[in-house]
Chain A
Amino acid sequence: MALNIAVCMKVAPDPDKYNQISLDPVTKTLVRSGIDSVISGTDLHAIELALQLKSKFGGKVTLISMGPDSNEKQLREALGYGCDEAVLLSDRKLGGADALATSYTLYKGIEKMGGYDLVLLGNASDDGSTAHVPSQLGEWLGLPHLTDVIGFEMSEESFCLAKKEVEGAVNTYRLSLPAVIGVTKRLNTVRHPNVMAIFAAKKKPFIKLTAADLENLDESRIGLAGSPTQAVGYLDADFHRDCVEITGKDDAEKAAELLRVVLTAKK
């Protein structure tokens, strides 16, 4: 039962640096200089699952990403984890897409590549974090889908079992393949590749597709113009408070003063 698996991967600004993002006080535009772009963290767990399934059942893992040409760098890095090939959907026309337009474009890319037994994604991206793309992609593809997955296994031929937490319960669902699965970080532990593997990945197949390469593409569904949800702008969220330091000659003194403050506030 070899599995043909696609992992949709997003490149996002490094989430550890979001405290450095600000708004230009005059133009109200984003200032995010000096923040590197990385593979969106949860997608690494989707890659990990894909690779585990491949080593167990055999098959192939294809990375699919929508974004600018510069995403080749992170896609090559992801190939170093052990994925077999990468597809980049890159075109000016695709820019400014909301989740719905993104999921439509990924759907068209998947269709162009001929379809997969399993499509895996990180449940939410580091930056947008809407968690909309997995379900929306499942809908475009017309396939069963489940998000927020914390446990996954293949069951009998062409079925899988996926576990998720809902209000008041942990539910296990059985999905027929092909299926779309949004995974969480709790699903597995990512094994990071060594330098040799990343180097070797330089020779792996890398396919770039533009909008013109996608068949029967409805141009009214892509990019900014195809996005029903529009950003009006950003607002500053400054939660700064004036902070008093609790001091003391040692930790015993600091703790005593801290406890006094805590017990007063608690009353």
Chain B
Amino acid sequence: MKELWIVAEQNRGVIAASFYEILSKAKAVYASAQEQPCFAAVVLAGDEMPAAELKSSGVDKIYLASEPMLADYNPALYTAVLTAMAETYRPEILLVAASAQGSEVAPGVSARLKTGLAAHCTELKLDEQEQLHMIAPAFGGKLMGEYIIPTCRPVMASIKPGVFESVPQTAKDAELVCFDASDIVAAEAGIELVSSEEVVETELPIEKAEVLVCAGLGSAVTGNFEKVKTFAKKLGASFCYTRPIADLGYMPNEHAMVGTSGKTVKPKLYIGFGVSGAAQHVCGMKDSGMIININSDEEADSFRISNYKVVSDCGAVLDELLKQI
């Protein structure tokens, strides 16, 4: 039976939400296929604990490589071990999350296996021959590109987290296959983890927010960045931003950055201040329930994807909003 592998990424022993999203999508894609694959989760971890969590996730099999050295993420070790597992058991399809880890490990594995890899996919489907087609944003999300990997195996794809909904699956008693990675782990050299600062998120992750207020560069360069944050707080909304806000240092990281190279969000309500509506940003928020943009340029592209617009200086509008709220 052909196997469809999904890497179940673990962070400090906890399986990432992306695994359940990808599994749900993969099951839905194959729901009416003639040839059913064997769905397998692949876990690289420091001990056996994370595999236990997967036992009833709905997969048929779990491949586990458990070694103390795999507890923390090391790209070289993860790449080597995942490659060796794929070479041993030859999956037909190998899906990973387009997370920080997955985005790095997947291309390394694809180079070692000399196979194809579709990046940051947001849709998967089968054609009449039940060949997997992978669809991903192209040109910053202005277009969608559709890809196939016709001859090389496994077919590899990284899947954008937050795009697919995770749906509870019928539990199966999954078979556990343990892979001995001790020799591989011992042989890999050249890169070692020297320190790890834990980043503790105190805010609700923006993917979970019902209302999002977004700061664009237009709010920051006009000195209104703090007002956007204050308005978000007063409204009881979560705060997010466009890429230049992170790149230019208005925010210290990209945790709440929305777009092709950031998070994908679908709040009930999105309100953007000084956001131009570049394809790369729109790609990450286009599925929001209601979209409102405030921009001084009446030709702004962000208006074309909005339900409501205010054509005005965002500073003046924010002053009034903060007064009136």
Interface centre among A126, A146, A246, A262 (most CB of B within 10 A): A262
Q: Which residues of A contact B316 (CB under 8 A)?
A: 251
Which residue from A143, A234, A241, A261 sits with its C-beta under 8 Å from B145?
A: A234
Q: Which residues of A contact B142 (CB under 8 A)?
A: 18-19, 21-22, 237
Inter-chain contact B279/A19, CB cutoff 8 Å: yes
**Partner-contacting stretch, out of A79-87, A166-174, A204-212:** A166-174
Q: Given known contacts A245-B311, A254-B317, A266-B268, is B149 in contact with A161 (CB within 8 Å)? A: no
| In the complex, B263 has a CB within 8 A of chain A | no
Inter-chain contact A227/B116, CB cutoff 8 Å: yes
Number of chain A interface residues as a range: 35 or more
Q: Which residues of B contact A146 (CB under 8 A)?
A: 75, 104, 191
Which residue from B145, B269, B282 sits with its C-beta under 8 Å from A262?
A: B269
Q: Given known contacts A23-B143, A255-B320, A258-B310, is B16 in contact with A167 (CB within 8 Å)? A: yes
| In the complex, B218 has a CB within 8 A of chain A | no
Inter-chain contact B149/A229, CB cutoff 8 Å: yes
| In the complex, A40 has a CB within 8 A of chain B | no
| In the complex, A54 has a CB within 8 A of chain B | no
Q: Given known contacts A165-B253, A166-B100, A262-B269, is B114 in contact with A228 (CB within 8 Å)? A: yes
Q: Which residues of A contact B199 (CB under 8 A)?
A: 165, 168-170
Which residue from B138, B271, B309, B313 sits with its C-beta under 8 Å from A245?
A: B309
Closest B residue to A168 by CB, please name it: B11
**Partner-contacting stretch, out of A58-66, A112-120, A131-139:** A131-139
Inter-chain contact B143/A246, CB cutoff 8 Å: no
| In the complex, A215 has a CB within 8 A of chain B | no
| In the complex, B58 has a CB within 8 A of chain A | no
Which residue from A237, A243, A245 sits with its C-beta under 8 Å from B144?
A: A237
Inter-chain contact B312/A254, CB cutoff 8 Å: yes
Interface centre among A13, A126, A174 (most CB of B within 10 A): A174
Inter-chain contact A129/B120, CB cutoff 8 Å: yes
Inter-chain contact B107/A131, CB cutoff 8 Å: yes
Which residue from A148, A168, A172, A234 sits with its C-beta under 8 Å from B143?
A: A234
Inter-chain contact A172/B193, CB cutoff 8 Å: yes
For the complex, give the distance between the alpha carbons of A186 and B310 in Å: 32
Closest B residue to A245 by CB, please name it: B309
Inter-chain contact B117/A132, CB cutoff 8 Å: yes
For the complex, give the distance between the alpha carbons of A266 and B148 in Å: 41
Inter-chain contact B144/A175, CB cutoff 8 Å: no
Which residue from A143, A147, A234 sits with its C-beta under 8 Å from B190?
A: A143
Q: Which residues of A contact B151 (CB under 8 A)?
A: 228
User: Shortest distance in angstroms between B39's beta carbon and chain A's nearest beta carbon?
Assistant: 23
Q: Which residues of A contact B150 (CB under 8 A)?
A: 230
B65-102 CB contact bits vs A (8 Å, 1 = yes)? 00000001111100100000000000000000001110
For the complex, give the distance between the alpha carbons of A229 and B150 in Å: 8
| In the complex, B46 has a CB within 8 A of chain A | no
For B, the interface residue count at a CB cutoff of 8 angstroms equals 104
| In the complex, A25 has a CB within 8 A of chain B | no
| In the complex, B19 has a CB within 8 A of chain A | no
Q: Given known contacts A237-B143, A243-B308, A259-B324, is B261 in contact with A129 (CB within 8 Å)? A: yes
The dominant DSSP class at the A interface is mixed
Report how many A-B pairs have Cβ atoms within 8 Å: 270
For the complex, give the distance between the alpha carbons of A13 and B279 in Å: 14
| In the complex, A235 has a CB within 8 A of chain B | yes
Inter-chain contact B117/A229, CB cutoff 8 Å: yes
Q: Which residues of B contact A241 (CB under 8 A)?
A: 291, 304-307
Inter-chain contact A258/B111, CB cutoff 8 Å: no
Inter-chain contact A237/B137, CB cutoff 8 Å: yes
User: Shortest distance in angstroms between A186's beta carbon and chain B's nearest beta carbon?
Assistant: 6
Inter-chain contact B144/A235, CB cutoff 8 Å: yes
**Partner-contacting stretch, out of A1-9, A95-103, A191-199:** A95-103
Which residue from A23, A164, A168, A243 sits with its C-beta under 8 Å from B307?
A: A243
Q: Given known contacts A236-B143, A258-B321, A262-B292, is B116 in contact with A144 (CB within 8 Å)? A: no
| In the complex, B115 has a CB within 8 A of chain A | yes
Known: A176-B190, A228-B115, A228-B149. 14 other contacts (CB 8 A): A13-B139, A100-B110, A133-B107, A135-B79, A145-B108, A146-B75, A179-B190, A241-B304, A243-B304, A244-B309, A245-B310, A246-B310, A254-B320, A256-B320
Q: Which 7 A-B pairs have the closest CB atoms?
A: A228-B116, A255-B320, A144-B190, A229-B116, A139-B111, A130-B119, A132-B107
Binding site for A on B (CB under 8 A): 9, 11-12, 16, 72-76, 79, 99-101, 103-108, 110-112, 114-120, 133, 135, 137-152, 189-199, 201, 210-211, 235, 237, 246-247, 253-254, 260-261, 268-269, 271, 277-280, 282-283, 286, 289-292, 294, 301, 303-313, 316-317, 319-321, 323-325
15 contacts between A and B (CB under 8 A): A132-B110, A135-B104, A135-B105, A147-B75, A168-B12, A169-B198, A170-B196, A175-B191, A186-B247, A231-B147, A241-B306, A245-B309, A252-B324, A255-B320, A259-B324
